[in-house]
Structure 1
Amino acid sequence: MADFIPGQRWISNTESELGLGLILEVSFKRVTVLFLASDERRMYASDNAPLTRVSFTAGDIIESIDEEKLTVTRLIEEGGLITYVCRNKSGQEVLLEEIELNHHIQFNKPQDRLFTGQIDPSPWFLLRYQTWLRLQQLQQSPVKGLLGGRTSLIPHQLYIAHESANRSAPRIMLADEVGLG
């Protein structure tokens, strides 16, 4: 279970289009998050909220509410809240509290999700990986055009399909009477 503190910035794992969320209130078993970019307010059960804490590291380029791009040099964490020590374009050191981060940040690219810790459990990854392997096998199959149909093809039909598919410019019309075997 994560420790939610008002003022922290979190992002929704299931609705990344909401942007960066701000923890408003933490009550007994509930946490209220305000997503300013989309003007949405969500309440989650604190023990299984689909949220990931947003924390940038040294070298990351972040954007303030004023849309000023800053390069993070280090972090200061105090009382559960993060203050970013950054450099602006002119090289001056700027302190940016996490509440001042731009609300429109989204992590849609895989590397962004990885670096922010938005990763799926292993079984989901394995399912996607096995699906890609099966799709690769299907794409390499010599009969891939015949897969998925609710038919019972007989050998002479497969032979004709194979022969016509191997021609340089196939022009065929295949008709088979239903019920003739």
Structure 2
Amino acid sequence: MSDFSPGQRWISDGEAELGLGTVLNCDARSVTILFSASQETRTYNTRQAPLTRVMFGSGDRVLSADGWQMIVDDSKETRGLITYIGEDSEGNLRELPEAKLADTMQFDQARDRLLTGQVDRNDWFDLRFRTLHHYQRIEQHSALGFAGPRIDLIPHQLYIADEVAGRHAPRVLLADEVGLGKTIEAGLILHRLLLAGRVERALILVPDSLTHQWLVELLRRFSLNVTLLDEHQSQAHGSTNPFESAQLVLASQGWLFANIHRQDQALASRFDLLIVDEAHHLDWSPESSGPGYQCVEQLASEIPGLLLLTATPEQMGLESHFARLRLL
């Protein structure tokens, strides 16, 4: 550790966000540093202080406390204090004592930390390297997205989720019978795609009576923080698009299907995956199609991924069933 002198500028290795510190006083055992930018004062043991002396070299751009900048050409040291010499932005030759350096200067970029001598111990680097190595192994594991959820998997759920989530932009109809876990399958697929980085934003449309059930299940079982959007929440966003306020949006079908303006906003929000529960309610016939079908048809034409969930795909007739298959 270098000798400390009042007026010198130092930076904290562990708290670079504090900015440049100024030595207030020091003795053989301790040194007191004032970080004016954050209004913090720290006292360190002189032998073990996690501090690095701030020293600039030729070609570095420095900022003064008065707001003007200078390119350093040379420097001189007097009684332990450095004065920088160089040209300001107008080409004038000026001198800048280190005590007049801006307090807000930070060194959080790798190059800046290297040039100012802010280097970590090798064991810290080794720890980061091993952590990243293990994280990479986890990301490449075949069970990514399936091991974390709080569920008791049934074999067919795992098979379906793995098969569908393995596709780049899955567009499928999940038509298991009642009680066989279509919601779990959809949650697994969504969870896997999010962790794999193939989906960043998803829109989930469910019947009005199931909105809170989906909200709770996704949070409790998959730790997914989903935003429940309704007209009250939408109006709170004013003129901005409410569908762009979150990455994962849950909305009731009754609300969205009846509101053309909100449908247009959803279309403009660039979702990666659309999930529609109780999809058999999307009514279609050669003569006319219901508002729900029309809404989902428009969304499905813009959103790459689509999951339709229904336990009774033929409830509204074969024509409606094949019309829903056409959405895929």
Q: What's the TM-score once normalised by structure 1's chain length?
A: 0.83
Q: Distance in 1 between matches of 2:9 and 2:175?
A: 63
Does the C-alpha gap of structure 1 residues 151 and 47 become closer, same or farther in structure 2, counting only changes over 3 Å?
Answer: farther
Which deviates more from structure 2 when the two are superposed, residues 78-87 or residues 154-163? 154-163
What's the C-alpha RMSD, in Å, of the aligned pairs?
Answer: 2.4
Instruction: Report the Cα distance in structure 2 between the residues aligned to 1:25 and 1:93, rounded to whole angstroms.
Output: 32
Q: Does 1:140 align with 2:140?
A: yes
Q: Which structure has more strand as a fraction of its residues?
A: 1
Deviation for aligned residue 1:44: 0.9
Q: Distance in 1 between matches of 2:27 and 2:20?
A: 21
1:39-74 CA-to-partner distances (Å, cap 9, x unmatched) read: 222111111111111011111110111111100001
Q: Corresponding residue for 1:16?
A: 16
* CA–CA separation in structure 1 for the residues paired with 2:139 and 2:59: 42
Query: Aligned runs of 1:109-148 on 2, under 5 Å?
Result: 109-148=109-148
Q: Structure 2 unaligned segments of length 5 or more: list them.
A: 182-328
Letter in 2 for 1:76: K
Q: Which residue of 1 aligns with 2:108?
A: 108
| Structure 1 residue 87, shift from structure 2 partner | 0.6
**Pairwise CA distance, 1:103:** 1.1
CA distance in 1, matches of 2:7, 2:165: 64
CA spacing shift, 1:30–1:114, aligned 2, 3 Å? same
Letter in 1 for 2:107: F
8 Å CA contact 1:2–1:46 kept in 2: the answer is: no
Decide whether the 8 Å contact of 1:5 with 1:80 is kept in 2: yes
Match of 1:178 in 2: none
Identify if the C-alpha distance between structure 1 residues 37 and 166 changes in structure 2 by more than 3 Å, giving closer, same or farther: closer
Identity level (%): 46
1:88-112: CA deviations, max 9, x gaps? 1222211111111111111222222
SS at match of 1:144: coil
Contact 1:22–1:35 (CA<8 Å) still a contact in 2? yes
Higher-RCO chain (CA-CA 8 Å, sequence separation at least 6): 1
Q: Secondary structure at the match of 1:141?
A: coil
Deviation of residue 150 (structure 1)? 7.5
Partner amino acid for 1:115? L
**Aligned pairs for 1:49-128 within 5 A:** 49-128=49-128
Structure 1 position 36, deviation (Å): 1.6
Matched to 1:62, the amino acid is V
On the 8 A contact 1:85/1:95 being kept in 2, the answer is yes
Deviation string for 1:15-49 (max 9, x for gaps)?
Answer: 22221111111123010111122222211111111
What CA distance in whole angstroms lies between the structure 2 residues aligned with 1:60 and 1:77? Answer: 17
The question of 1:169 aligning with 2:162 is answered: no
Instruction: Give the whole-Å Cα distance in 1 for the aligned partners of 2:134 and 2:155.
Output: 25
| Unmatched segments (≥5 aa) in structure 1 | 176-181
Name the CA distance, whole Å, in 1 between partners of 2:31 and 2:175: 65
Query: CA separation of 1:152/1:82 partners in 2, compared to 1, >3 Å: closer, same or farther?
Result: same
